[in-house]
Structure 1
Amino acid sequence: MRLHTHTWGDGDRTALLVHGIMSDHRTWRRVGPALAERGYRVIAVDLRGHGASGRGPYGLADFADDLVETLPAGAELALGHSLGGLTLSLAVERLKPARAVYSDPAWRLQLAEGVGPEVFASFKSAGREQIEALNPRWEAADVEVELATLADWDPDTAPALAELTGADLLPLAPVVPSLVQLAGPSFLIDEERAAVLAERGFEVRTVAGAGHTVHRDDFAGFMASLEGWI
């Protein structure tokens, strides 16, 4: 499936952005322009079931294949957050960017006993007060974006996360030079797995105090942790 994309800038270098579940390209409202100012042409996708892209069927392989069908190979930078980080890792060998950044990637999902991926679908009806309570450091504009993206999100994407539950999808080695950027602390990649990733050749950096959506929780910390990679 060819995905809807949004572009910032017209620089000589190309950067690719891949959002997480329940979101779309609008989550990058500050990141896209910041990279464009650094000389990139920035292309952000809406994954299938999100934003203005098509709907279903949903599976991890589908998400990855869509990136390959939609995005140019050989970009200077590819960055994926959460589900987008996992999806990028499944497509990176075919996309062949010069560098990859995985921001708090969903390589493992450990839910409480008796709780399944369908719990994510319940966020479809989240209101402003709930979003603000869960994300006290977000700017008001990010709360508005979250409300808009939830409205455009198909909650039937949530069962695809069943493929993650109890699985360990940490890559065995980086396909291209790769940074793993973690929330501090991360509920997806604990210290033990962070050490494993470092042993496997990934650079691992933590944005201390930042929540899972690092780029919205601490934009300055997010950008600072990318130095040397962008």
Structure 2
Amino acid sequence: MLLHAIDAGTGPSTVLLLHGMMGSSDSWWRLIPPLTANGHRVIALDLPGHGLSERDPQLTIEQAAASVVETVRRLGPGRPLAAVGHSYGATVLAAAAEMLQPDVTVYVDAALALTGGHDRATLTAQYARDRGARLTPEDLLASRPFYSVQDAEVEARAAALFDPATTASISCDTDHSWLPDAGSIVVKAEPSSWVSDDDARRFAANGADVRSIPGAAHTIWYSHFDEFTASLPELFGPPASRTLP
């Protein structure tokens, strides 16, 4: 399955962005301009069942990862490639990383584990209820006071396009878990509701660079934009501090 993409910038290096559950490629609207201004091409994808990408009520995590890889290869970004995944998108990135082989891999506030065995109808109904609580900017601003009005409008549009059955399907298969490869970067909120202290220790023991942002929300760049970009000089810093040219 080819995925819908925002393709911005013309720099020699590429940054791939994978949003979290119920988000969309537009969830990165704050980050795309500074990345392109810093000389990167940016490819932000709508994951299956999100945004303008296709739905598949029998989706597996392996198929979601394969769709990311197929789309990236079709767009032909070349090298070097950085990949950033948030939450659910980080899980998809972990499943795709061996095929993508990014030069820089960033996992944002994700435990990189997927619990399977869920009842399809029950989980689909739960996701539909969760979606219903995100359909208006007013509801989102009430539950996420750190959002700007534009943040809330973007995420409400993403919720309206979210397909509960597609995303529920990936949790009806077996359990999955991944460890970030040595040299990967994990950026987490501190404290985090998603990445436990044990998770952080396991990631660091495997060679990942775990970076924490105190007081940040799960969508770190919405609540702590400056701190988030400062935590990734490889992408946002001046040329001397960047891993990508």
- What is the distance in 2 between the residues matched to 1:191 and 1:31? 28
Provide closer, same or farther for how the CA distance between residues 38 and 139 of structure 1 changes in structure 2, counting only shifts above 3 A: same
Q: Structure 2: 5+ residue runs without aligned partners?
A: 116-121, 237-245
Percent identity over the alignment?
A: 36
- What is the distance in 1 between the residues matched to 2:226 and 2:144? 16
Residues 49 and 167, structure 2, Cα contact 8 Å, conserved in 1: no
**Amino acid aligned to 2:127:** F
Provide closer, same or farther for how the CA distance between residues 122 and 107 of structure 1 changes in structure 2, counting only shifts above 3 A: same
**Amino acid aligned to 1:5:** A
Please say if 1:78 is aligned against 2:53.
no
SS class of match (2:44): strand
| Displacement after TM superposition at 1:134 (Å) | 2.1
Q: Between 123-132 and 83-92, report the one with greater CA deviation.
A: 123-132
Please say if 1:221 is aligned against 2:227.
yes
| Displacement after TM superposition at 1:168 (Å) | 6.3
TM-score by length of 1: 0.88
Written as runs of structure 1 = structure 2, the 5 A alignment for 1:46-65 is 46-56=46-56, 57-65=58-66
Provide closer, same or farther for how the CA distance between residues 21 and 178 of structure 1 changes in structure 2, counting only shifts above 3 A: same
| Displacement after TM superposition at 1:131 (Å) | 1.2
For residues 29-86 of structure 1, the C-alpha deviation after alignment (integer angstroms, 9 at most, x for no partner) is 0111111111000001001111111110322111101011001364421101011101
For residues 86-140 of structure 1, the C-alpha deviation after alignment (integer angstroms, 9 at most, x for no partner) is 1111111111111100011252368xxxxx7443331222233331122111111
**Amino acid aligned to 1:67:** V
TM-score by length of 2: 0.83
Please say if 1:169 is aligned against 2:177.
yes
Written as runs of structure 1 = structure 2, the 5 A alignment for 1:3-22 is 3-22=3-22
Q: Structure 1: 5+ residue runs without aligned partners?
A: 111-115
Provide closer, same or farther for how the CA distance between residues 61 and 42 of structure 1 changes in structure 2, counting only shifts above 3 A: same
Q: What's the C-alpha RMSD, in Å, of the aligned pairs?
A: 2.2
Please say if 1:125 is aligned against 2:132.
yes
| Displacement after TM superposition at 1:146 (Å) | 0.9
Residues 2 and 70, structure 1, Cα contact 8 Å, conserved in 2: yes
Provide closer, same or farther for how the CA distance between residues 181 and 164 of structure 1 changes in structure 2, counting only shifts above 3 A: farther
- What is the distance in 1 between the residues matched to 2:154 and 2:226? 19
Question: Corresponding residue for 1:107?
Answer: 112
Please say if 1:147 is aligned against 2:156.
yes
**Amino acid aligned to 2:193:** F
Written as runs of structure 1 = structure 2, the 5 A alignment for 1:7-46 is 7-46=7-46
Equivalent residue pairs, number: 223
SS class of match (1:43): strand
**Amino acid aligned to 1:192:** D
Question: Corresponding residue for 1:113?
Answer: none
